[in-house]
Amino acid sequence: MTAINVKTITYEQLAKVIDHSLLRPELTSQEVIEGCQLAARYHVATVCVKPCHVRLAAEQLKDSDVLVSTVVGFPHGSSVTEIKVAEAQRAMDDGAVELDMVLNIGELRSGNDEYVYQDIKAVCDAAHARGVKVKVILENAYLTDEEKVRACQLAEKAGADWVKTSTGFAPGGAILDDLRLMRRSVSEKVQIKAAGGVRTLDALLAVIEAGVTRCGATATAKILDDFKARQAGEQTSTGEVKIGGEY
Any catalytic annotation for residue 161?
no
3-class SS at 192? strand
Q: Is 100 a known active-site residue? A: yes
Distance CA 94, CA 113 (A): 31
Q: Which of 19, 84, 94, 100 is catalytic?
A: 100
Please say if 242 is a catalytic residue: no
DSSP line for 95-143 = T-SEEEEEP-HHHHHTT-HHHHHHHHHHHHHHHHTTT-EEEEE--GGG-
Q: Please, are residues 7 and 30 in contact by the beta-carbon 8 Å criterion?
A: no
Selected catalytic residue, list 84, 135, 193, 202 = 193
b/e burial code for range 126-136 (CB count within 10 A of at least 16 → b) = bbeeeebbbbb
Q: Please count the other Cβ atoms lying within 10 Å of the Cβ belonging to residue 34.
A: 14
Of 121, 135, 148, 164, which is the active-site residue? 164
Q: How many residues does the chain have?
A: 247
Active-site residue set = 100, 164, 193
